[in-house]
Amino acid sequence: MSTDNIRQVVLDTETTGMNKVGIHYEGHNIIEIGAVEIINRRITGRYLHFYVKPPRLIDHDAFLVHGINNKFLQNKPSFSEISEKFLNFIRDTELIIHNAPFDIGFIDYECSMLNKNIPPIKDFCRITDSLILARQLFPGKRNNLDALCERYHINNSKRKLHSALLDAKILAEVYMAMTGGQTSLAFSFDSDLDNDIFFDKVNKQTNKLRVAYANKEEIISHEAKLDFIEKKSGKISLWRLYDTLKE
């Protein structure tokens, strides 16, 4: 395959909320889409941004996350009106998304409601989850967008509330740093050293206890739930507070 004109699109969405039971995107809708273009590892400055009028009201909890209200969206286009332009922008690209199942789930749901036989996004785009990449680079650490900005010294001071376009622009810089930059070796070394000392003390005190570890599926499910909580609340979950204090 030629390495010329490799096109990637960094994508983020905001929504009316989520279901507390069942599939999270059913019954809720996209209200903002932000997409930033990268060609040959260069952020081109070309982007796509839409606010979308949903067929339902925004949940209060979701409003507290992104600050977008129902009145603001009253004169905005529907997803149906922007869908063709949006899909043409992302078609045949590699999509870079943080916690990709969340955004892809919403996009596929919205497309299915159009009744135009639009295939799943994965059928015409390659999807890369930058959250999975971050976990591979920093296992056991906080890997939400704010934490990664701090780790890579990327300015996110304008990120007072979640915004699909702003978050996509920030994620584009984070992704470039994760895939082409160099992280601090001292940071990783110090953290590993602290872990060794900590677990050595724990092992000495609890060597008579039987420890039942979570299996792979349980860990994946737990981490996905924490990622969703942090993404939509903008706050660090209590389960990851220990990692926060170490950092």
Task: Say what the pLDDT of residue 239 is.
Answer: 64
- Domain architecture of the chain: domains with CATH: 7-180 (3.30.420.10), 185-246 (no CATH)
Confirm or deny that 14 is annotated as ligand binding. Answer: yes
Question: Would residue 162 show up in a list of annotated catalytic residues for this protein?
Answer: yes
pLDDT tens digits, 144-202 = 999 999 999 998 887 776 789 999 999 999 999 999 843 333 333 333 334 444 334 44
61 confidence band (pLDDT: 50, 70, 90): confident
Confirm or deny that 66 is annotated as ligand binding. Answer: yes
Confirm or deny that 12 is annotated as ligand binding. Answer: yes
Q: Which of 24, 28, 98, 162 is catalytic?
A: 162
DSSP assignment of the chain? ---TT-EEEEEEEEES---SSSSTTTT--EEEEEEEEEETTEEEEEEEEEE---SSPPPHHHHHHH---TTTTTTSPPHHHHHHHHHHHHTTSEEEETTHHHHHHHHHHHHHTTTS-PPPGGGTSEEEEHHHHHHHHSTTS--SHHHHHHHHT---TT-SS--HHHHHHHHHHHHHHHHHS---HHHHHHHHHHHHHHHHHHHHHSTTSPP----HHHHHHHHHHHHHHHHHH-S--GGGHHHHHH-
